[in-house]
Amino acid sequence: MREQYIHRLLNMLNYYSDTFARLPLTDVEEVYATILAQLSSILRYRVCMLLLKDHNGSFILRVNEGSKVDLPASGHAGHGMLEYLWHRVDMALVIARSTLEADLLQAGQQVEMDIGESLIAVPLKAIVNYRETQIGLVIAAQPYGNHEPDIDKQIMEVITSLAMGAIASCTELAERKRVEAELTRYRDHLKELVDERTQELSQALEELRTTQHQLVESAKMASLGELVAGVAHEINTPVGVAVTATSSLHTRAQKLEELYKSGAMKRSHLEEHLKALGEGCQIVLNNLQRASNLVRSFKEVAVDQSSEQKRTFALKGYLEEILTSMQPKFKRTKYHISISCDENIILLSYPGAIAQVVTNLLMNSLIHGFENREEGRISIEAKTDLNSLTLHYHDDGNGVSSDILPKIFNPFFTSKRGSGSSGLGLHIVYNLVTQKLKGTIRCESTAGHGVLFIISMPLERVEE
Ligand SMILES: Nc1ncnc2c1ncn2[C@@H]1O[C@H](COP(=O)(O)OP(=O)(O)OP(=O)(O)O)[C@@H](O)[C@H]1O
Ligand SMILES: [Mg+2]
């Protein structure tokens, strides 16, 4: 009888053992249904139950082939017993009805279900959040007269452990899907964020460009205004002097004419008037000359007016030519100029602009740097890297004090007003370097220690 029973059970187990393996493993509900279906069919004549908890902690009870009963947390017939079992069972157990009744009585509860002679309960476990957690109980009631509860218990353990494997695969799949969905959501969100930021940034950039443009424009207008005021002021003096001198010449000429017509003119008169006329003419000439020089300088301020062509030239030879052309100015002095420049430095640029820059710097060293100095040294050093040229122009003269250093590139700034300087030299240099040669220039100096001009520019001047 016992052997027969065992034999039959083994056959059935064999038959069912791979049912779980064949489940699609996408739906844990199917696994639960399979547990109940198998139990009911093997342990045919028993009540089989699956006790689960939903995520609110309420019990869900499935009886035999899947009928589902949601039990509220308390107050339901049988609830006390299920609660008791849930907490009591953490391994497969056979619990005799009498034991169950005694335990429940102690807790003021009763067995309110038809559970027969005993109960077999097996915990259903799964890994939740990396921890083994009891997610359900598989319960089978034993009818009176069944003498093989241990065999039934083992059958239930086998089915439960097969089910646990299937549940693990289901949750793993669900978890993977959840993580994938989460990732997609993050990715979409990230993309949105990046798009948003990109848009904000490009808008900010656009605004910056506009502001920069406006600033440049207003700076241009301001320096133009300054320049015009300066031009008017500078030209006003020599032209004013010339006008005054001319009008006194005119008066003298009239007097001369009157004397001549009256016949009272003496030789001494004539000599005196001719001398004064000559002096007056010289004043007029000097001042008009100065005005004309100023006008020429102003033209140079407007860099773009020069029609010089861009060309390729070797820097060293060109610098030497510039020095030769300046030789007359340095001839009878003890000022020494040295050039340090590789023969191979070739520029594609505007040589005339470079000549003008170097000439202005040399004139400044001569006039300002070496003023009241017997001796002086000037060095011009050229260096290149990848695609730019850096010129270091140095003199060891008087230098510039810190209060005037920030102003030396301003138009009409000069420390020698009244002795023929207009203060345009370095302004022209600045415009030529930054506009014509597309480079940069700055000056380092302290009073008494000479000047150093650092000029950078591209080796190949590319037109925009
Ligand atoms: N090498 C130098 N050493 C000392 N001071 C200098 C030197 N170069 C320029 N400066 C100072 O910078 C000022 C401005 O120079 P800038 O060439 O613009 O005008 P300027 O020489 O006075 O007049 P201009 O060049 O129009 O005849 C000079 O007046 C002088 O004070
Ligand atoms: Mg000058």
Per-domain boundaries in the chain:
2-183, 210-301, 308-458
Is beta strand 388-395 parallel, antiparallel or unpaired with respect to 375-385? antiparallel
d(CA 301, CA 396): 28
With bands split at pLDDT 50, 70 and 90, how would you rate the model's confidence at 11? confident
Residue 130 has pLDDT above 70, yes or no: yes
Share of the chain above pLDDT 70, in %: 90
With bands split at pLDDT 50, 70 and 90, how would you rate the model's confidence at 8? confident
Is beta strand 440-445 parallel, antiparallel or unpaired with respect to 375-385? unpaired
**Which residues hold their Cβ within 5 A of ligand 2, which is an ion?**
364, 425
Give the closest residue (by CA) to ligand 1 atom 19: 423
pLDDT recorded at residue 437: 92
pLDDT recorded at residue 361: 96
Residue 145 has pLDDT above 80, yes or no: no
For the CA of 411, the nearest ligand: 1
Chosen CATH of 2-183 out of 1.10.275.30, 3.30.530.20, 3.30.450.40, 3.40.640.10: 3.30.450.40
User: Residue 373: which of 401, 405, 395, 403 has the closest Cα?
Assistant: 395
With bands split at pLDDT 50, 70 and 90, how would you rate the model's confidence at 364? very high
CA dihedral (101, 107, 109, 114) positive or negative: negative
Average pLDDT over residues 295-307: 62
User: Residue 436: which of 284, 310, 337 has the closest Cα?
Assistant: 310
Distance 221 CA to ligand 1 centre (A): 24
pLDDT recorded at residue 222: 63
Residue 147 has pLDDT above 70, yes or no: no
Is beta strand 375-385 parallel, antiparallel or unpaired with respect to 334-340? parallel
Q: What angle do helix axes 149-262 and 267-301 make, rounded to 10 degrees?
A: 170
For the CA of 393, the nearest ligand: 1
Residue 188 in tokens: 């979409």
Q: What H or E segment, with its residue span, contains residue 358?
A: helix 351-364
pLDDT recorded at residue 346: 95
d(CA 265, CA 258): 9
DSSP annotation of 69 reads E
Mean pLDDT of the chain: 85
d(CA 461, CA 14): 89
Measured from the Cα of 367, ligand 1's closest atom is 21
With bands split at pLDDT 50, 70 and 90, how would you rate the model's confidence at 30? confident
d(CA 216, CA 201): 22
pLDDT recorded at residue 399: 96
Q: What H or E segment, with its residue span, contains residue 340?
A: strand 334-340
Residue 416 has pLDDT above 80, yes or no: yes
Distance 426 CA to ligand 2 centre (A): 6
Q: In a 10 Å sphere around its CB, with 0-12 CB exposed, 13-18 middle and 19+ buried, how is residue 311 labelled? A: exposed
Comparing 140 with 316, the larger pLDDT belongs to 316
Comparing 390 with 23, the larger pLDDT belongs to 390
Residue 324 in tokens: 């030769």
Measured from the Cα of 424, ligand 1's closest atom is 26
Average pLDDT over residues 19-44: 77
Residue to mutate (ligand 1; options 294, 421, 427, 432; most atoms within 8 A of CB): 421
pLDDT recorded at residue 307: 64
Phi-psi sector, 304: left (phi>0), alpha (psi -120 to 50), beta: alpha
Residue 212 has pLDDT above 80, yes or no: no
pLDDT recorded at residue 115: 76
Residue 47 has pLDDT above 80, yes or no: no
Comparing 202 with 411, the larger pLDDT belongs to 202
d(CA 368, CA 453): 15
Comparing 421 with 223, the larger pLDDT belongs to 421
With bands split at pLDDT 50, 70 and 90, how would you rate the model's confidence at 54? confident
Measured from the Cα of 369, ligand 1's closest atom is 3
Average pLDDT over residues 175-192: 89
Residue to mutate (ligand 1; options 364, 398, 413; most atoms within 8 A of CB): 364
Give the closest residue (by CA) to ligand 1 atom 6: 368
pLDDT recorded at residue 37: 82
Residue 303 has pLDDT above 60, yes or no: no
Residue 110 has pLDDT above 90, yes or no: no
Give the dihedral of Cα atoms 71, 75, 76, 77; nearest 10 deg: 150
**Which residue ranges have their beta carbon within 6 Å of ligand 1?**
364-365, 367-369, 395, 397-400, 408, 413-416, 421-427, 451
Give the closest residue (by CA) to ligand 1 atom 25: 425
CATH 3.30.565.10 fits 308-458, yes or no: yes
Number of H helices, E strands in the chain: 10, 13
Measured from the Cα of 365, ligand 1's closest atom is 1
Give the closest residue (by CA) to ligand 1 atom 17: 425
Distance 414 CA to ligand 1 centre (A): 6
With bands split at pLDDT 50, 70 and 90, how would you rate the model's confidence at 336? very high
**Fold classified for 210-301:** Helix Hairpins (1.10.287)
pLDDT recorded at residue 75: 56
User: Residue 125: which of 173, 82, 170, 163 has the closest Cα?
Assistant: 163
440-445, strands of its sheet edge to edge: 334-340, 375-385, 388-395, 451-458, 440-445
Total length of the chain: 464
DSSP annotation of 263 reads T
Distance 359 CA to ligand 2 centre (A): 9
Residue 158 has pLDDT above 90, yes or no: no
With bands split at pLDDT 50, 70 and 90, how would you rate the model's confidence at 300? low
Measured from the Cα of 364, ligand 1's closest atom is 8
pLDDT recorded at residue 173: 81
d(CA 41, CA 12): 9
pLDDT recorded at residue 44: 64
Residue 65 has pLDDT above 70, yes or no: no
Residue 134 has pLDDT above 70, yes or no: yes
Average pLDDT over residues 339-348: 95
pLDDT recorded at residue 72: 60
Average pLDDT over residues 424-440: 90
Residue 389 has pLDDT above 90, yes or no: yes
pLDDT recorded at residue 369: 96
pLDDT recorded at residue 360: 93
Per residue in 441-464, pLDDT tens?
A: 999 999 999 999 999 999 998 876
pLDDT recorded at residue 45: 60
Share of the chain above pLDDT 90, in %: 35
Distance 421 CA to ligand 1 centre (A): 8
With bands split at pLDDT 50, 70 and 90, how would you rate the model's confidence at 226? low
With b for 16 or more beta-carbon neighbours within 10 A and e for fewer, the 403-435 pattern comes to eebeebbbbbbbbeeeeebbbbbbbbbbbbbee
d(CA 126, CA 133): 6
Query: In sequence order, what are the residues at sequence separation of 6 or more whose Cβ sits closer than 8 angstroms to the Cβ of residue 205?
Result: none
Distance 419 CA to ligand 2 centre (A): 12
Average pLDDT over residues 360-373: 95
